[in-house]
Amino acid sequence: MKQHDIQIDKDGELRHFLTIEGLKKPMLTGILDHAENFSSVSNRQVKKVPLLRGKTIANLFFEASTRTRTTFELAAKRLSADVINININTSATTKGESLLDMLQNLESMQVDMFVVRHNSSGAAHFIAQHVAPHISVINAGDGSHAHPTQAMLDMFTIRRHKQEFTKLTVAIVGDIMHSRVARSQIHALNTLGVPEIRVIGPQTIIPKEAAHLGVHVYHDMHQGLQNVDVVIMLRLQRERMEGALLPSEHEYFHMYGLTEEKLKLAKADAIVMHPGPINRGVEIESSVADGPQSVILEQVTHGISVRMAVMSMALGRSSLTDGQERGQS
């Protein structure tokens, strides 16, 4: 069964959020619209709404990511859910207990949602296929396959600055081959109607099937950045250097690092994005990362609102009442 086949319930509502692929434009737009409603919560004196009061959400992070786990935890707590963070390194799965045994034990504790991050592609889908019918699964990144909430917070950030997707040219720069973020971004940008998506990087880390994803491939940074509206820089995993896929960090930065000079090739009002964490001086120059066109920290902030939207939609509690919008609970 394909991942997107189990994401939507019989009523057309979101049950799991495993991948962008296969979801229709109204669903993605709905997530963005709900996130917009939640964005004001972070500015309140009391940063909470009672939508998920009484619900329990378990963060299952088999792969470390402080920023992603923290934003999921904040999102759940701002929805008034109870949160369990499972330290996988010390959990029973490292002592011989199977993953399914662990899930069944958590289910018996009346957990309502699993947020899963795993270094194996398809792990979140596997878990979604085996959980009890009342439990939702959110993919917080699986292998090199998908990172749907990251893609949606990126779309939210783009919409905040550019409003209309159907008039944009977006460039994604770096290790497309191994990036779950890039794959999810490409699916989202295509679904939302972006007319031109460019991927830029050396041949060794651009997959041969990239053109079939509906993108234009560039191996020259200067050509690829011409007149783009959005520049998304990807994190470069240092093991790619060791695997002989790339030259030295210095050479990579010279060819594909985003500098102030290269950024001038894009439109004057282009925004610069990065899913983080940043390798300064490898993917991006500090003066660009911290400069006026950078929206990198905004992405982190918007991640909370987007994850609030996805969690509440998956648990069937997506609408704020008038009283909740005013901060009453």
Pick from 170, 100, 174, 183: nearest CA to 141 = 183
3-146+302-325 and 148-300 have identical folds:
yes
pLDDT of residue 320: 57
Of all helices (H) and strands (E), which one includes residue 123?
Answer: helix 123-130
Least confident of 3-12, 55-64, 109-118: 3-12
Distance, first Cα to last Cα, the chain: 40
pLDDT tens for 211-269 read 888 999 999 999 999 999 999 999 987 665 566 567 788 888 999 999 999 999 999 99
List the beta bridge partners of residue 200.
173, 218
Comparing 87 with 200, the larger pLDDT belongs to 200
User: Are the beta carbons of 79 and 49 closer than 8 angstroms?
Assistant: yes
CATH superfamily of 3-146+302-325: Aspartate/ornithine carbamoyltransferase (3.40.50.1370)
CATH number of 148-300: 3.40.50.1370
Q: b/e for 7-37, b at 16 or more Cβ within 10 A?
A: bbeeeeebbbbbbbbebeeebbebbbebbbb
> What is the residue-averaged pLDDT of the chain?
89
pLDDT of residue 317: 74
Query: Can you tell me the distance from the alpha carbon of 112 to that of 120, in angstroms, rounded to the nearest whole number?
Result: 23
pLDDT tens for 152-198 read 999 999 999 998 999 999 999 999 988 999 999 999 999 999 999 99
pLDDT of residue 328: 40
pLDDT tens for 16-63 read 999 999 999 999 999 999 999 999 887 888 889 999 999 999 999 988
pLDDT of residue 249: 83
Give every CB contact of residue 213 below 8 A, 6+ residues apart in sequence.
Answer: 183, 186, 190
User: Are the beta carbons of 225 and 265 closer than 8 angstroms?
Assistant: yes
Pick from 58, 38, 37: nearest CA to 48 = 38
Is the pLDDT at 302 greater than 90? The verdict is yes
Q: b/e for 59-98, b at 16 or more Cβ within 10 A?
A: bbbbbebeebbebbbbbbbbbebbbeebebeeeebeeeee
User: Are the beta carbons of 297 and 271 closer than 8 angstroms?
Assistant: no
Query: Can you tell me the distance from the alpha carbon of 188 to that of 204, in angstroms, rounded to the nearest whole number?
Result: 24
Domain boundaries, the chain: 3-146+302-325, 148-300
